[in-house]
Chain A
Amino acid sequence: MKRVVVDPVTRIEGHLRVEVEVDESTGKVNDAISSGTAWRGLETIVKNRDPRDAWAYIQRICGVCTTAHALGAVRAVEDALEIKIPKNAHYIRNIMAATLTVHDHTVHFYHLHALDWVSPIEALKADPAATAALQNTVLSKYKINIKPAAGFNFSAYPKDFPKGTTAYYEAIKGKVQQLIDSKQLGIFAANWWDHPAYKTLPPEVHLMAVSHYLNMLDKQREIVIPHVIFGGKNPHPHYVVGGMSCAISLNDMNAPVNSQRLAAVDTAIATTSALANEFYVPDVLAIAHIHAQNGSAVDGGGLAKTRVLGFGAYPDEPVASHRDFAAACLIRCDGVVENFGQGVAAAQFTELTGKDLEDSAVITESAEHAWYKDDEALHPWAGKTEPNYTGDKAGNKEKWENLDEDHKYSWVKTPTWRGKVCEVGPLSRYIIVYTKVKKGIIKPNWAEQIMMDQIEHVSQLLNLPAEKWMPSTAGRTIARALDAQLSAALEKYFFDKLIKNIGAGDTNIANTLKWDPSSWGNGEYKGVGLYEAPRGALSHWIVIKDKKVKNYQAVVPTTWNACPRDDKAGQGAYELSMMDTNVQVPDKPLEIVRAVRSFDPCLACAAHVYNTEKKTLSVISTDPYIGSGKI
C-alpha cells in the first residue's frame, strides 16, 4: 500500500490537495482524501454591510465562475425582499449566465483539463498532413447538430472553423519544437509526459488538440463580450439588486444598451455557438471515443452513479420567490436522482421543492471533518461555526506530511440532502433531465429535447448505454461540452426574447421601488438565491436584519463535490471518484488528477464559513476611517 500526495493540484481554481492510498500491485485506490487548503472568510466580511452591496463582495468568492456568485447574491437579496425584476433584466441575466457557462467550460476543457489527455511531446511525432486530414474527419464525424429555438439569425455562416491545412499544423509543430529546444517549456514544464496514458491517442490527435489549446486561448475572450456590454467588464461584471444597471434606450448612443450594442452581443453569441459546435464538442467526442474504445477513462463515476442533485436552470420568466423558481425553469433539472448507475428503470427520482429548501431537515452542512469547531449539521440560515485549524495527522500546522482522515482535514464543509451526500454539476443536470424524461415525469421542451438528442448521439457513438458512460470521468467531461453547446443555444434564445420585449416598447431594466432601504422596514428577512452554475447547484442564503446583512452563506457546487467525509453520510464526490479510478503508475497518479479535474474544481468557492455568533477570530482594522472617529 502506498500513500501518494498531490499538492498542489494545479489547473484548477484555488488550493486543493489530494492524498490517495494505492495498492501498488493492482492499481486500486483504497482510500482517497480531498482537502481544500485555503480559507478567506468572505461571508464574515459581508456581514453588517448594505445588502445592496453584498453581490460585489460575494462575487469575489471566485473570479473563474465570475458572475455566478453575484447572481446568487442579487437573487438571495431579491428573494428576501420580494423584489421581482423586469423582464429585460431577467433575460440579460440569463444571457450572462449562459455566457459564463460556455466560457467557463471552454477554458476548463482546453486550458485546465486538456493536458490530462493530450501532450505537446506526443504532438511532435505527428504528421502535419495527416493531422489536417484528421481535422476534417473530426468535423464530419463528431459534430452534433442541434435544433435551437426558432428565432431570427443574423449570422450568415459560422465564422469560426478549425484550420485544416498542413502548413498550419507544421507551424504549430514548429513552435512546440522550438519550446522544447529552448529548454524553456514554460507552462508545459515538469508534467508526467512519459505516463503511458498519453499513448492512448495517436500523435495527430495530440497535435490537433495542442493547436486548439493555443487557438482557444486567443478566442475564448470573444465569448465574454455580453458581460462587457451588459456588466461593464469581465471578470467581475456589475449587477444591481432589482435588475441590471445597463439602461436601455433606442434614442441615445450614450445609453449602455442600444441597437449597436445589441448587435455586438448578437455577433458574440454567433461566435460562441461556432466555438462550441465546431471546436469543443467534436474535440471532446473524438478524444472520448478513442478512450472508450480503449476502455480507459470510463471509470471515476463514483457518487454520480448513486446520487446527483440539481435546483433547475434558466427560469424562463422572472420569479418573485424561490418557491416559484423550479416551476419556472426551462431546464427542469430540479430534484435528486439516486442509483442512476443501475439504469433508468432502477433509478429513483425525488423532487426538491422551494419549500424543501426552507426545511432544516433537507439541506444542511456539517463540519465533522472540516477545520471548524461545530460539528453538528445545520441549515444554512441557522448555521454557526468558528475556525478550528488542527494541522496534519501529527498536529503539524505549518508543514504537512499526511492529513488526518480520521479527524479534521479540510477547509471545505460537508453539505447534505436529507443527510446524504450528492454530486452536482453539468453531468448531474443531464442525468436528472434524462431520468425525468425517460420516466415520463416531464415532457421535454425544445431545450430539454436538445439534451436528450445529445445524450442519444453520444450513446450511439460510444456504443455504451447512458448509465454506463455518463457516470464516469469521461462522462463528466462530455456533459460539460454538451452543456456548453446547449448554453450557447440558450444565450441566443434569451437574446431573442430580449429583442422582442424591447421591440414591444419595454425598456425597463431595474425595479427600483424597493431600492431605498427605508422602504424595507426593520424586521428580519430571509432569502435564498438559486443558480445552476457551470459547476453545478449553487445556493446563496441571506438573513437581512435592520437593513444590514445579518448572516450570509454560500453552499456552492465545489462544496458539494470536494467535501470531506461525514461519519454518517460517507465520502463526497471527489473522494469516491478517485476511489473508483484505477492507477497505472502509483508515483504518477495522472488518472487521479484527471478524475478530480473532470469536476472542474473551484476551491476558492468551496471553502467558506458560516455565521459566527460566538466568534473569537482576531480582528484587525484595515479601515483607515475607523480609527479616525469619523464613523
Chain B
Amino acid sequence: MEKYDSIWDMYRKKGISRRSFIKTCTAMTALLGLAPTMLPKVVEAAEKRLPVVIWLHGHECTGCSEAFIRSGAPMTSDVILNMIALEYDDTLSAASGEPFEHHLQEVIKEYKGKYILAVEGAVPPDASGGYCMVGGKSFLEQIKEVADGAAAVIAYGTCAAWGGIQAARPNPTQAVSISDVIKNKPIINVPGCPPIPEVMTGVIAHYAMFGELPPLDNKNCPKQFYGNRIHDTCYRRPFFDAGMFANDFNDAGAKAGWCLYKLGCRGPETYASCGSMRWWNGLSYPIQSGHGCIGCTSKNFWDNDPFYQRLPEVAGLGLGNIDKIGAVATGALAVGITAHLATSAVQKKKRDKKEAEKIKQALEEQDRQSKRKD
C-alpha cells in the first residue's frame, strides 16, 4: 500500500513535476477563494501535511457521520488516516472536554486559512435559546469562530446544506443552514438524509487526488453527484414510460418491481446519485427496495409531504391533479408527466448554462494566475 505524507509527497511518487505541483496549488488557492498572496502558505501546507479537517456537529442526528464510516471506496480508514488529518470530531475523536477544546484552538491557530471545516447539522441562530450548546457555549459561536479561519466549508447532509428536519414546520428552534450563517467562505453543499457514503468521501477523495475541490453546480453541490435526477437513472424508468405502476405495496406491480410513482416516489424531482451509484457499492437504493424516493437531497423536502401522495397532487408543484386533467386516467397521466418532464428539462437547461459560464470564468482566472506565476 502506498503511503503519502503530503500531497507533494504523493505528486513526487507519481513522477509529477514540481511545476505542476505549484500550478495545482495555485488552482487550489483560487478555488478555495483565497487571495493570491496566500499561495506560499497553501504550498507549504500541501508539502508538509495532510489537509486538516475540523468536523463540527450542530443540530443533527449523527446519521451523516454514520454514513461517512459506511464508505466502501475509499475505505473510511484510508480517508481518516491517509487522506486527511481529522483533528476535531465529536464522534470519533479520542479526547473530551477542556483538552479537546484547547486542541481545537491550537489547530485553528496553527492551520489558519488552510483547514477544511466539515459541518454536520443545522444551526439554531438564537445563541441565547440554549438549543445547541457545545463546550458551554452556543454552536452558533463555535461555528462562526471555526469558519473564520477555514479555507472552505463542507456542509454535509441536508441539515447543514438546507436546514433539514429541525427546520421543517413549525421549526421550533428556527434552525437554518450553514450558508445562512457563514457568508464569507466557499461552501460545498453535500445534501442527503444522509448523503450516500461514497458521495461524502468522494468529495474528499477528489480533493486528495486532484488537489482541488470538485466542480460545483449553482447550488454549490458537486456536479458529479447531483447532476442527474433519480428518475432519469432509475432502473424502473422503463415501467414509468410504459405506464406500469405499483398501486399498493403488496400488489402484483410491487412484486414485479414496477414504477412507484403512484405511491409517491419523488424520483422525478430529485437530483441525487441513488439511481446511478446506489447504496453499498451498487447493492440497492430505496426504490430498488420497493419504497418511493422521499426526495431527501431537495431543499425543504420535509415540508413536501404527505410522502405517499403522488407528485402532482402535492401542493406547490403547480401541475394540478393528474387524474382530473382528462377523463381517461392513463391519458391524463401522460399529459401530467409530459408537462412535468418539460418543466424539468427547461430548468435543467437554464441551470447548466449558468454553471457553464461560472466554470469558464474560473478557468480563465486560473489560467491568468498560472501565467503570472510561471
Contact = CB atoms under 8 A, between A and B. Distances in A.
A58 to B, nearest CB: 10
B303 interface: yes
B166 A45 contact: yes
Interface in B68-113: 69-72, 75-77, 80-81, 84-87, 89-103
A13 B285 CA distance: 25
A261 to B, nearest CB: 8
Interface size class for chain B? 35 or more
Nearest to A596: B96
A184 B85 contact: yes
A346 to B, nearest CB: 37
B291 interface: yes
Contact of A254 (B96, B256, B318): B256
Contacts of B139: 38
A214 B77 contact: yes
Interface in A604-621: 604, 609, 617-621
Nearest to A5: B97
Nearest to B280: A228
Contact of B291 (A6, A61, A115, A240): A240
A10 B57 CA distance: 11
B306 A111 contact: no
A68 B307 CA distance: 20
A453 interface: no
Interface in A69-113: 86, 107, 111-112
Contacts of A42: 165-166
B139 to A, nearest CB: 8
B10 interface: no
B285 A232 contact: yes
Contacts of B136: 5, 7, 17, 392, 399-401
Interface size class for chain A? 35 or more
Interface centre among B92, B174, B235 (most CB of A within 10 A): B92
Contacts of B50: 182, 184
A593 B168 CA distance: 34
Given A8-B100, A246-B290, A221 B169 contact: no
B131 interface: yes
Nearest to B247: A512
A530 interface: no
A64 B66 contact: yes
A510 interface: yes
A15 B121 CA distance: 12
State the majority secondary structure of interface residues on A: loop
Nearest to B131: A39
Nearest to A62: B61
Interface in A164-202: 175, 178-179, 182, 184-192
State the majority secondary structure of interface residues on B: loop
Interface stretch (A22-30, A49-57, A124-132, A360-368): A49-57
Contacts of B168: 45, 57, 622
B227 to A, nearest CB: 20
Given A175-B81, A221-B70, A221-B72, A398 B137 contact: yes
A236 interface: yes
Contacts of B287: 232
A355 interface: no
B4 to A, nearest CB: 11
Contacts of A568: none
B133 A37 contact: yes
A40 B59 contact: yes
Interface stretch (A375-383, A417-425, A623-631): A623-631
B203 interface: no
B255 A66 contact: no
Contacts of A621: 169, 171
A15 B306 CA distance: 31
Nearest to A230: B289
Interface string B118-161: 00000000011111111111110100000000000000000000
Contact of B130 (A187, A397, A401): A397
B249 A217 contact: no
Given A186-B80, A232-B284, A52 B70 contact: no
Nearest to B61: A63
B133 A63 contact: no
Contacts of B294: 56, 238
Contacts of B267: none
A240 B316 CA distance: 25
A398 B316 contact: no
Interface string A235-274: 1111010111111110111111000000010000000000
24 contacts: A5-B98, A7-B135, A9-B97, A13-B91, A40-B131, A41-B172, A50-B307, A190-B102, A214-B81, A225-B283, A228-B284, A232-B287, A235-B66, A236-B193, A247-B255, A254-B258, A397-B127, A510-B249, A515-B248, A617-B170, A617-B172, A622-B163, A623-B300, A628-B316
Closest 6 CB pairs of A and B: A63-B63, A254-B257, A41-B172, A232-B286, A232-B289, A625-B316
Interface of B: 3, 5, 49-50, 52, 57, 59-67, 69-72, 75-77, 80-81, 84-87, 89-103, 127-139, 141, 163-175, 193-194, 196-197, 235-236, 246, 248-250, 254-258, 274, 279-280, 283-291, 294, 300, 302-303, 305-308, 315-316, 318
